[in-house]
Structure 1
Amino acid sequence: MNNAGLETSIQNEIMALVDDRKSLMLSSLDEEGLPYASYAPFAFDERHLYVLISDIAVHGRNLRANPQASVLIIEDESSAAELFARVRVFYRVRASLLAPDSADWQTGIRVLQARHGQRIESLSQLSDFRLFRLQPEGGRYVKGFGKAYQIEGGSLAGESLQHLREGHKKRN
Protein backbone atom coordinates (compact mmCIF):
# COMPACT_ATOMS: atom_id res chain seq x y z
CA MET A 1 0.00 0.00 0.00
CA ASN A 2 1.44 3.42 -0.93
CA ASN A 3 1.61 6.36 1.49
CA ALA A 4 -1.60 7.94 0.18
CA GLY A 5 -3.43 4.62 0.56
CA LEU A 6 -2.04 4.10 4.05
CA GLU A 7 -3.04 7.64 5.06
CA THR A 8 -6.57 7.10 3.74
CA SER A 9 -6.75 3.80 5.62
CA ILE A 10 -5.68 5.48 8.90
CA GLN A 11 -8.14 8.34 8.32
CA ASN A 12 -10.91 5.75 7.84
CA GLU A 13 -9.88 4.11 11.13
CA ILE A 14 -10.09 7.48 12.90
CA MET A 15 -13.57 8.14 11.57
CA ALA A 16 -14.69 4.58 12.49
CA LEU A 17 -13.53 5.15 16.09
CA VAL A 18 -15.34 8.51 16.25
CA ASP A 19 -18.48 6.92 14.82
CA ASP A 20 -18.30 3.99 17.25
CA ARG A 21 -18.24 6.12 20.43
CA LYS A 22 -21.29 8.06 21.67
CA SER A 23 -19.58 10.28 24.25
CA LEU A 24 -16.27 12.08 24.48
CA MET A 25 -14.01 13.18 27.29
CA LEU A 26 -13.79 16.97 27.40
CA SER A 27 -11.10 19.02 29.08
CA SER A 28 -11.92 22.70 29.39
CA LEU A 29 -10.24 25.56 31.23
CA ASP A 30 -11.88 27.46 34.05
CA GLU A 31 -11.63 31.24 34.55
CA GLU A 32 -8.29 30.80 36.32
CA GLY A 33 -6.91 28.66 33.48
CA LEU A 34 -7.11 25.44 35.49
CA PRO A 35 -8.14 22.26 33.63
CA TYR A 36 -11.49 20.62 34.25
CA ALA A 37 -12.25 17.15 32.84
CA SER A 38 -15.73 15.91 32.10
CA TYR A 39 -17.63 14.12 29.37
CA ALA A 40 -20.45 14.84 26.95
CA PRO A 41 -22.51 12.90 24.42
CA PHE A 42 -21.59 14.13 20.95
CA ALA A 43 -22.36 14.00 17.26
CA PHE A 44 -20.21 14.97 14.30
CA ASP A 45 -19.98 15.87 10.67
CA GLU A 46 -16.80 15.66 8.56
CA ARG A 47 -15.15 18.66 10.19
CA HIS A 48 -16.77 19.29 13.57
CA LEU A 49 -17.96 17.75 16.79
CA TYR A 50 -21.20 19.01 18.39
CA VAL A 51 -22.11 18.94 22.08
CA LEU A 52 -25.26 20.20 23.81
CA ILE A 53 -24.35 21.32 27.32
CA SER A 54 -26.28 22.97 30.14
CA ASP A 55 -25.15 26.22 31.73
CA ILE A 56 -25.42 24.34 35.02
CA ALA A 57 -22.49 22.11 33.94
CA VAL A 58 -19.03 23.44 34.79
CA HIS A 59 -17.66 22.59 31.35
CA GLY A 60 -20.48 24.53 29.70
CA ARG A 61 -19.54 27.67 31.62
CA ASN A 62 -15.86 27.02 30.93
CA LEU A 63 -16.38 26.77 27.16
CA ARG A 64 -18.28 30.04 27.16
CA ALA A 65 -15.44 31.78 29.02
CA ASN A 66 -12.55 30.13 27.17
CA PRO A 67 -13.06 28.42 23.80
CA GLN A 68 -9.79 26.43 23.96
CA ALA A 69 -10.33 22.82 25.00
CA SER A 70 -9.28 19.28 24.25
CA VAL A 71 -11.26 16.17 23.48
CA LEU A 72 -10.47 12.48 23.90
CA ILE A 73 -12.43 9.73 22.19
CA ILE A 74 -11.21 6.34 23.40
CA GLU A 75 -11.84 2.65 22.97
CA ASP A 76 -13.85 1.05 25.77
CA GLU A 77 -11.76 -0.73 28.40
CA SER A 78 -13.87 -3.86 28.20
CA SER A 79 -13.08 -4.40 24.51
CA ALA A 80 -9.45 -3.22 24.51
CA ALA A 81 -6.83 -5.83 23.60
CA GLU A 82 -4.24 -3.89 25.63
CA LEU A 83 -5.23 -1.60 28.50
CA PHE A 84 -1.98 0.40 28.21
CA ALA A 85 -2.48 1.03 24.49
CA ARG A 86 -6.18 1.64 24.05
CA VAL A 87 -7.12 2.99 20.62
CA ARG A 88 -7.83 6.70 20.95
CA VAL A 89 -7.99 10.01 19.18
CA PHE A 90 -7.21 13.33 20.84
CA TYR A 91 -8.09 16.74 19.40
CA ARG A 92 -7.19 20.28 20.38
CA VAL A 93 -10.42 22.15 19.68
CA ARG A 94 -11.86 25.64 19.56
CA ALA A 95 -15.45 25.82 20.80
CA SER A 96 -17.99 28.08 19.12
CA LEU A 97 -21.29 28.83 20.82
CA LEU A 98 -24.05 28.52 18.21
CA ALA A 99 -27.10 30.79 18.25
CA PRO A 100 -30.46 28.96 18.43
CA ASP A 101 -31.79 30.84 15.40
CA SER A 102 -28.80 30.03 13.15
CA ALA A 103 -28.40 27.48 10.36
CA ASP A 104 -25.36 26.11 12.22
CA TRP A 105 -27.60 25.41 15.26
CA GLN A 106 -30.03 23.52 13.03
CA THR A 107 -27.17 21.46 11.57
CA GLY A 108 -25.80 20.60 15.01
CA ILE A 109 -29.19 19.70 16.46
CA ARG A 110 -29.98 17.59 13.39
CA VAL A 111 -26.78 15.48 13.70
CA LEU A 112 -27.20 15.17 17.48
CA GLN A 113 -30.81 14.05 17.09
CA ALA A 114 -29.87 11.52 14.40
CA ARG A 115 -27.28 10.05 16.78
CA HIS A 116 -29.06 10.33 20.15
CA GLY A 117 -32.77 10.43 19.34
CA GLN A 118 -35.63 12.45 20.74
CA ARG A 119 -33.82 13.36 23.98
CA ILE A 120 -32.02 16.05 21.94
CA GLU A 121 -35.32 17.58 20.85
CA SER A 122 -36.43 18.06 24.45
CA LEU A 123 -33.03 19.25 25.76
CA SER A 124 -32.59 21.73 22.90
CA GLN A 125 -35.87 23.41 23.95
CA LEU A 126 -34.52 24.20 27.44
CA SER A 127 -33.12 27.72 27.82
CA ASP A 128 -30.06 26.63 29.83
CA PHE A 129 -28.78 24.24 27.14
CA ARG A 130 -26.20 25.62 24.72
CA LEU A 131 -24.95 24.06 21.51
CA PHE A 132 -21.21 24.15 20.94
CA ARG A 133 -19.42 23.31 17.72
CA LEU A 134 -15.92 21.99 18.42
CA GLN A 135 -13.49 22.70 15.60
CA PRO A 136 -10.38 20.48 15.63
CA GLU A 137 -7.06 22.31 15.37
CA GLY A 138 -4.95 19.16 15.15
CA GLY A 139 -4.53 16.12 17.31
CA ARG A 140 -3.16 12.64 17.64
CA TYR A 141 -4.42 9.15 16.82
CA VAL A 142 -2.95 6.19 18.72
CA LYS A 143 -3.76 2.65 17.71
CA GLY A 144 -1.15 0.78 19.72
CA PHE A 145 2.47 0.78 20.81
CA GLY A 146 4.58 2.46 18.12
CA LYS A 147 1.45 3.28 16.13
CA ALA A 148 0.81 6.96 16.80
CA TYR A 149 -0.04 9.59 14.19
CA GLN A 150 -0.05 13.36 14.41
CA ILE A 151 -3.27 14.73 12.87
CA GLU A 152 -2.68 17.94 10.93
CA GLY A 153 -5.43 20.29 9.81
CA GLY A 154 -8.91 21.28 10.83
CA SER A 155 -10.95 18.15 10.20
CA LEU A 156 -11.64 15.05 12.25
CA ALA A 157 -9.63 12.71 10.01
CA GLY A 158 -7.00 15.38 9.29
CA GLU A 159 -5.79 16.84 6.04
CA SER A 160 -2.56 14.94 6.58
CA LEU A 161 -1.09 12.50 9.06
CA GLN A 162 2.46 12.15 10.30
CA HIS A 163 3.60 8.82 11.73
CA LEU A 164 5.40 9.51 15.00
CA ARG A 165 8.44 7.28 14.84
CA GLU A 166 10.11 8.24 18.11
CA GLY A 167 9.10 5.30 20.22
CA HIS A 168 9.65 3.87 23.64
CA LYS A 169 13.22 3.27 24.68
CA LYS A 170 14.57 0.82 27.20
CA ARG A 171 16.19 2.26 30.32
CA ASN A 172 19.97 1.88 30.64
Structure 2
Amino acid sequence: MKTIDIETTKTRYTAFMDSRTTLIISTLDENGAPFISYAPFVKVDGKLYIYISQISDHYRYVEENAQIHVMMIADESQTPNTFARERARFACTSENIGNDGYEDIFGEFNLKFGDKMMNMLRGLDFSLFELTPLHGRYVIGFGQAFDVDLSGERFDHVVVDKKKDKQ
Protein backbone atom coordinates (compact mmCIF):
# COMPACT_ATOMS: atom_id res chain seq x y z
CA MET A 1 0.00 0.00 0.00
CA LYS A 2 1.29 3.44 -0.91
CA THR A 3 2.25 5.83 1.89
CA ILE A 4 -0.20 8.64 2.54
CA ASP A 5 1.10 12.16 3.21
CA ILE A 6 -1.08 13.14 6.17
CA GLU A 7 -0.31 16.88 6.00
CA THR A 8 -1.21 17.07 2.30
CA THR A 9 -4.38 15.09 2.96
CA LYS A 10 -5.32 17.38 5.87
CA THR A 11 -4.91 20.37 3.56
CA ARG A 12 -7.16 18.66 1.02
CA TYR A 13 -9.72 17.96 3.77
CA THR A 14 -9.73 21.61 4.86
CA ALA A 15 -10.17 22.81 1.27
CA PHE A 16 -12.97 20.28 0.71
CA MET A 17 -14.83 21.36 3.85
CA ASP A 18 -14.37 25.04 3.07
CA SER A 19 -15.80 24.53 -0.42
CA ARG A 20 -19.04 22.88 0.75
CA THR A 21 -22.19 25.00 1.05
CA THR A 22 -24.76 22.32 1.91
CA LEU A 23 -24.90 19.22 4.02
CA ILE A 24 -27.06 16.13 3.85
CA ILE A 25 -29.05 15.47 7.03
CA SER A 26 -29.89 11.97 8.23
CA THR A 27 -32.38 11.68 11.07
CA LEU A 28 -35.47 9.71 12.10
CA ASP A 29 -39.12 10.55 11.52
CA GLU A 30 -41.86 10.26 14.15
CA ASN A 31 -42.14 6.50 13.46
CA GLY A 32 -38.42 5.87 13.81
CA ALA A 33 -37.95 5.46 10.04
CA PRO A 34 -34.85 6.98 8.43
CA PHE A 35 -35.36 10.40 6.85
CA ILE A 36 -32.87 12.25 4.69
CA SER A 37 -32.77 15.86 3.55
CA TYR A 38 -30.29 18.69 3.11
CA ALA A 39 -29.66 22.25 4.22
CA PRO A 40 -27.17 25.06 3.64
CA PHE A 41 -24.72 25.42 6.53
CA VAL A 42 -21.91 27.46 8.03
CA LYS A 43 -19.06 26.45 10.35
CA VAL A 44 -18.31 28.62 13.38
CA ASP A 45 -15.99 27.74 16.28
CA GLY A 46 -16.02 23.99 15.72
CA LYS A 47 -19.78 23.71 15.21
CA LEU A 48 -22.09 23.54 12.22
CA TYR A 49 -25.17 25.72 11.90
CA ILE A 50 -28.22 25.19 9.71
CA TYR A 51 -31.09 27.62 9.23
CA ILE A 52 -34.27 25.75 8.33
CA SER A 53 -38.00 26.42 7.94
CA GLN A 54 -40.47 25.22 10.55
CA ILE A 55 -42.78 23.87 7.82
CA SER A 56 -40.14 21.47 6.48
CA ASP A 57 -40.24 17.85 7.61
CA HIS A 58 -36.58 17.88 8.55
CA TYR A 59 -37.15 20.79 10.96
CA ARG A 60 -39.35 18.63 13.15
CA TYR A 61 -37.07 15.59 12.90
CA VAL A 62 -33.90 17.54 13.68
CA GLU A 63 -35.63 19.25 16.60
CA GLU A 64 -37.01 15.99 18.03
CA ASN A 65 -33.80 13.95 17.63
CA ALA A 66 -30.84 15.16 19.63
CA GLN A 67 -28.57 12.81 17.64
CA ILE A 68 -28.33 13.24 13.86
CA HIS A 69 -25.78 12.53 11.16
CA VAL A 70 -24.67 14.91 8.44
CA MET A 71 -22.59 14.45 5.30
CA MET A 72 -20.88 16.73 2.83
CA ILE A 73 -20.14 15.05 -0.51
CA ALA A 74 -18.38 15.95 -3.75
CA ASP A 75 -20.47 16.67 -6.83
CA GLU A 76 -20.98 13.57 -9.00
CA SER A 77 -20.09 15.51 -12.14
CA GLN A 78 -16.63 16.28 -10.72
CA THR A 79 -15.87 12.80 -9.38
CA PRO A 80 -13.63 10.46 -11.37
CA ASN A 81 -15.04 7.36 -9.63
CA THR A 82 -18.60 7.39 -8.31
CA PHE A 83 -17.81 4.39 -6.08
CA ALA A 84 -15.28 6.52 -4.21
CA ARG A 85 -16.74 10.03 -4.01
CA GLU A 86 -14.92 12.39 -1.68
CA ARG A 87 -17.05 12.93 1.41
CA ALA A 88 -17.06 13.78 5.10
CA ARG A 89 -19.69 12.65 7.57
CA PHE A 90 -20.24 13.49 11.20
CA ALA A 91 -22.36 12.23 14.08
CA CYS A 92 -23.75 15.34 15.77
CA THR A 93 -25.92 16.51 18.59
CA SER A 94 -28.47 19.11 17.52
CA GLU A 95 -30.12 21.97 19.34
CA ASN A 96 -32.63 24.57 18.14
CA ILE A 97 -31.11 27.84 19.34
CA GLY A 98 -33.80 30.10 17.82
CA ASN A 99 -33.21 33.40 16.06
CA ASP A 100 -32.37 35.96 18.71
CA GLY A 101 -28.78 37.08 18.93
CA TYR A 102 -26.14 34.96 17.20
CA GLU A 103 -25.22 37.83 14.89
CA ASP A 104 -21.75 36.33 14.40
CA ILE A 105 -23.34 33.16 13.00
CA PHE A 106 -25.81 35.09 10.85
CA GLY A 107 -22.84 37.15 9.65
CA GLU A 108 -21.26 33.93 8.35
CA PHE A 109 -24.53 33.01 6.60
CA ASN A 110 -24.57 36.51 5.04
CA LEU A 111 -21.01 36.09 3.76
CA LYS A 112 -21.66 32.64 2.34
CA PHE A 113 -25.19 33.08 0.93
CA GLY A 114 -25.70 36.84 0.60
CA ASP A 115 -27.34 39.54 2.74
CA LYS A 116 -30.41 39.74 0.51
CA MET A 117 -31.22 36.03 0.84
CA MET A 118 -30.58 35.91 4.58
CA ASN A 119 -32.60 39.07 5.28
CA MET A 120 -35.54 37.53 3.44
CA LEU A 121 -35.23 34.21 5.32
CA ARG A 122 -34.94 35.97 8.68
CA GLY A 123 -38.40 37.42 8.10
CA LEU A 124 -39.88 33.94 7.65
CA ASP A 125 -40.44 30.93 9.93
CA PHE A 126 -36.80 29.78 10.02
CA SER A 127 -34.84 28.74 13.10
CA LEU A 128 -31.15 28.31 13.70
CA PHE A 129 -29.89 24.87 14.76
CA GLU A 130 -26.49 24.27 16.29
CA LEU A 131 -24.93 20.93 15.34
CA THR A 132 -22.04 19.78 17.52
CA PRO A 133 -19.92 17.16 15.73
CA LEU A 134 -18.94 14.27 18.02
CA HIS A 135 -16.82 12.28 15.56
CA GLY A 136 -16.44 12.02 11.82
CA ARG A 137 -14.95 10.22 8.87
CA TYR A 138 -13.41 11.74 5.75
CA VAL A 139 -13.08 9.54 2.65
CA ILE A 140 -11.09 10.41 -0.45
CA GLY A 141 -11.18 7.03 -2.14
CA PHE A 142 -10.38 3.36 -1.74
CA GLY A 143 -8.02 2.82 1.21
CA GLN A 144 -8.11 6.53 1.99
CA ALA A 145 -10.46 6.96 4.95
CA PHE A 146 -9.65 9.07 7.99
CA ASP A 147 -11.30 9.44 11.38
CA VAL A 148 -11.53 13.20 11.86
CA ASP A 149 -12.92 16.04 13.89
CA LEU A 150 -14.42 19.09 12.19
CA SER A 151 -11.24 21.18 12.44
CA GLY A 152 -8.97 18.41 11.14
CA GLU A 153 -6.88 18.35 14.32
CA ARG A 154 -7.81 14.69 14.70
CA PHE A 155 -6.82 13.00 11.45
CA ASP A 156 -6.24 9.25 11.81
CA HIS A 157 -5.84 7.00 8.78
CA VAL A 158 -8.26 4.06 8.99
CA VAL A 159 -6.44 0.83 8.17
CA VAL A 160 -8.10 -2.57 7.86
CA ASP A 161 -6.03 -5.61 8.78
CA LYS A 162 -6.85 -7.88 5.83
CA LYS A 163 -4.99 -10.83 7.37
CA LYS A 164 -7.19 -10.65 10.46
CA ASP A 165 -10.36 -10.51 8.30
CA LYS A 166 -9.43 -13.75 6.50
CA GLN A 167 -9.15 -15.77 9.72
TM-score range, shorter chain: 0.7 to 0.9
Deviations 1:54-101 (A, max 9, x none): 011111111111121111101111111111101110111111211322
Counterparts in 2 of 1:55 and 1:167: CA distance versus 1, 3 Å = farther
- Residues 1:133 and 2:130 are matched in the alignment: yes
Partner in structure 2 of residue 157 of structure 1: 151
Report if the CA contact (8 A) 1:15-1:156 is conserved.
Answer: no
Partner in structure 2 of residue 97 of structure 1: 96
Superposition CA RMSD, Å: 2.4
Where does structure 2 lack aligned partners over 5 or more consecutive residues? Answer: none
Report if the CA contact (8 A) 1:108-1:131 is conserved.
Answer: no
Where does structure 1 lack aligned partners over 5 or more consecutive residues? Answer: 1-5
Letter paired with 1:143: I
Q: Secondary structure at the match of 1:101?
A: coil
1:10 deviation in Å?
Answer: 3.1
Between 8-17 and 23-32, the greater mean CA deviation after superposition: 8-17
Name the CA distance, whole Å, in 2 between partners of 1:158 and 1:98. 25
Partner in structure 2 of residue 18 of structure 1: 17
Q: Percent identity?
A: 35
Aligned residues: 161
Report if the CA contact (8 A) 1:138-1:158 is conserved.
Answer: no
TM-score (norm 2): 0.86
1:7 deviation in Å?
Answer: 4.3
Equivalent residue for 1:110, pick from 101, 107, 114: 107
1:48 deviation in Å?
Answer: 1.4
Report if the CA contact (8 A) 1:14-1:157 is conserved.
Answer: no
Letter paired with 2:82: L
After superposition, residues 51-70 of structure 1 pair within 5 angstroms as 51-70=50-69
Report if the CA contact (8 A) 2:54-2:126 is conserved.
Answer: yes
TM-score (norm 1): 0.84
